[in-house]
Amino acid sequence: MATTRYTLDPGAPDAPYLSFWRERHVCTLTTLRPDGTPHVVPVGVTYDPEARLARVITSRTSTKAKNVLAAGEEGMPVAVCQVEGRRWATLEGRARVRTEPERVAEAERRYTERYQRTPRENPLRVVIEIELTRALGRG
């Protein structure tokens, strides 16, 4: 029996997959707590296949940011996911917390573009950048 493959190159997704990631959807981010258990939270995610990055804006005091920071400079393997009916998409990679103003501004710009609203002011804002290694799903 033939199986359907749902793996894509995160740097070269097909048109339906990319289109799905441009629609306005609440996503989830899965990080690992220091004890190894998963921490799953709703987030806004932007996908930049040209840079092979996904971005999540958050406060540096959030649990998700603290989990990634606890992994050290090498970062942490994470996954972001979205689903609508039979369409689903997961991006996997290594996350690092970035504080550089230009990186945060770029993440905010992309968030505004995808979610059609400007994120609230947050002086503690950071961006979790995910260097993508795998894309799964069906757009």
Q: Which residues of 28-52 are buried (b: 16+ CB within 10 A; e: fewer)?
A: ebbbbeeeeeeeeeebbbbbbbeeb
Q: Taking the alpha carbons of 50, 127, 62, 33 in that order, is the dihedral positive or negative? A: positive
Answer yes or no: pTM beyond 0.85. yes
The tens digit of pLDDT for each residue in 77-98 reads 999 999 999 999 999 999 999 9
Question: Are 17 and 139 within 8 A, CB to CB?
Answer: yes
The string of pLDDT tens digits covering residues 34-69 is: 999 999 999 999 999 999 999 999 999 999 999 999
User: Measured between alpha carbons, how far is residue 26 from residues 35, 47, 70, 71 in Å?
Assistant: 27, 13, 25, 25
The residues pairing with 38 across neighbouring beta strands, listed in sequence order, are: 32
1 has pLDDT over 80: no
